[in-house]
Amino acid sequence: MNVPASSAARADELISASLEESGRVLTGFTSLLTHVALTGDSSRPRAVVAVTVSTSAYQERDAAGAIVAEAAAAPEQRLRLVLAPVGGRWRIQDILPAVSG
């Protein structure tokens, strides 16, 4: 999903490493993108897409499956996804806040 060695990949790797180190997993976590639109910031060979994202409630479970933490669904958030082509597919290079205005 991410461009290798990009800021998006590094952020995901940090989250994954933290969970793996603790022996915990997330259950029930989903993200939904809505209001997806190409922005004027796009230029070859990248695309910048404005999105609204919402995330579900989820649980954090230990290796035995016991719930150790719960998180409520997050409110919608407006972001910009910077996409770059890798191997003929668009991948996430960076995730930025939405432009105000």
Q: For 63-99, what is each residue's pLDDT tens digit?
A: 999 999 999 999 999 999 999 999 999 999 999 999 8
Domain coordinates of the chain in residue numbers? Answer: 7-24+33-54+76-97
Residues 6+ apart with CB under 8 A from 25: 19, 60, 61
Q: Among residues of the chain, what percentage have pLDDT more than 90?
A: 91
3-state secondary structure of 89: strand
Mean pLDDT, the chain, rounded, equals: 94
CA–CA separation, 22 and 31 (whole Å):
23
Q: For 1-48, what is each residue's pLDDT tens digit?
A: 999 999 999 999 999 999 999 999 999 999 999 999 999 887 888 999
DSSP letters, 23-38, are: T-EEES--EEEEEEEE
